[in-house]
Amino acid sequence: MPEGDSVWKLARRLDRQLLGRKVVRSDFRTPRLATRDLSGRTITEHATHGKHLLTRLDDGLTLHSHLLMDGAWSVTGPGKRLPARMMREVRLVLETDARTTAWGLRLHQLEIVRTRDEHRVVGHLGPDPLHDDWDPAEAVRRLLTDPARPLVAALLDQRLVAGLGNLWVNELAFLTGVSPWTPVGEVDLARLVDRAAQALHRSATVEGAYQVTTGSTARGETHWVSGRQRRPCLRCGTTVQMVEEVAGDPEQRRTWWCPTCQPGPVPTTRTQTRAGGRR
């Protein structure tokens, strides 16, 4: 699923494929924007803030898209198009003067704003570790506004820190050595946000390091706990545990942890997966 580093890498790929190109045809396949036309405008920048993509145009407009859990952008070359099975998921088509076509898939949030008004769509977000103006002290301040809040829930709140998704918050809890449900006020947040910024930056910019949290690219060893339920912890051998997400509750996502390496509170009401199955 898209996280801050995913969207940053997407923006760099779109730069290579679309930057400086003029839109010759646009087709919005969402009712609210169905009559809008971006043709004649040149793409000047792909900026990001957390999980939000901002495609800036030369006439002072910005196309804002949020990938949420399953959104994506794909670009095809001259004379090419997406497979027919994917066409029903297309929400936006942008054809360029280079005969390339950008396809926005499953874009649940899509809007056009003036570039000077981008704060309307991203102004509520917290500091972004991938921005040049990353402010770790501000991130710590925001995370401490509710010190009793569970660590993972706080890190997932994009209003506090932008760009950390479910994979990263689970891995950061492991690397910090605390249960995902530890009150955020009990954690060394200065050290945690520094580690988060370094990890996200490395994942986004270093070849072969994308979302590798263990330092190993061997199959099944790229993450400490995420996706490793019922498997031994890579550090101590204890079986990694997982609880399912709570539908409709963005703060209670699927969560993984090692009970030995991450002592502290555990959930009492959510479905828990252990070795041998659920209980």
Residues acting as catalytic residues: 2-3, 51, 253
- What are the Cα distances from residue 109, in Å, to 32, 104, 137, 239? 11, 11, 30, 39
Dist CA 80 CA 75 (whole Å): 9
Region for 114 from its dihedrals, namely left if φ exceeds 0, alpha if ψ lies in -120 to 50, beta otherwise: beta
Q: Rounded to whole angstroms, how far apart are CA atoms 107 and 114? A: 19
SS3 207: coil
Q: Indicate the angle between helix axes 189-205 and 4-18, nearest 10 degrees.
A: 30
**Nearest Cα to Cα of residue 28 among 92, 94, 108:** 92
Six-digit token string for 237: 């051998």
- Tell me how crowded residue 158 is: count the other CB atoms within 10 A of its CB: 21
Cα distance between the two ends of the chain: 27
Strand order in the sheet with 277-278: 255-257, 241-243, 272-274, 277-278
